[in-house]
Copies of this chain bind each other. A is one copy, B any other.
Amino acid sequence: MPFRGGRSSDNLQNRNWKGRPPKHLAGFLLLAMNLDFQKSGGLVTAVIQDHSSGRVLMVGYMNDEAFRLTVATGYATFYSRSRKKLWMKGESSGHRLAVKEISTDCDRDAVLIQVELLGPGACHKGYRSCFFRRLENGEWRVAEERTYDPSAIYGGRQ
C-alpha cells in the first residue's frame, strides 16, 4: 500500500514554483513547520523502524526540507550533519527505506518512521540494522552476522 501520510506530494518533487508555494501546498508546509526544528539547530531526530519486525534500523536527522521530501517521495531522506547536505538513504546502495507510517512525539522534535527496507541492510557496514553492537560486560560486541558484503555495494567509498 503506498504511503498516504502526505498531501499533494506529487508536486514537491518538481519544485519549480517561484515565490509563494501553490495554495494547495500551504497545509503541507505548515505541517513541516509544526515540527520543532529549533532545539537541534534546524534538525529533528528521525528513528527508522522496520514496520514488520519492529526492529530499529537506524537513527538519522532531518531538516525541514529532508522531512518534506520524505513525505513527498515516500522514501526516507536525511540531512547529513558531517557532509552538510541532503541524502536519500539508498541513493548509492539501492537499499531505500519506503515509508509506511510517520509519528511525532510530544515535543515534536523527533519523528518515528515505520518503513519497509528495500534490500538486505540499512547499515553501510553490511548489517541489517545499524545497531549491531550490544553492550556486554562493559564492552561493545558485534551481536549479529552481516546480511551483505558492503564492499560489493559501496566499494571503497564507505
A residues at B contact (CB < 8 Å): 4-8, 27-28, 31, 34, 39-40, 45, 47, 49, 53-56, 58-59, 71, 81-82, 101-108, 110, 112, 123-125, 127, 130-140, 143
Contacts and interface: CB of A to CB of B under 8 A. Distances in A.
A131 B143 contact: no
A135 B49 contact: no
A66 to B, nearest CB: 15
B81 A133 contact: no
Given A104-B133, A108-B140, 12 more contacts: A4-B136, A5-B138, A7-B137, A27-B138, A28-B138, A34-B140, A49-B56, A56-B56, A56-B112, A103-B134, A103-B135, A106-B130
Copies of this chain, count: 2
A103 B81 contact: no
A102 B135 contact: yes
Contacts of A45: 45, 59
B106 A123 contact: yes
Given A81-B39, A137-B5, A105 B27 contact: no
Nearest to A104: B133
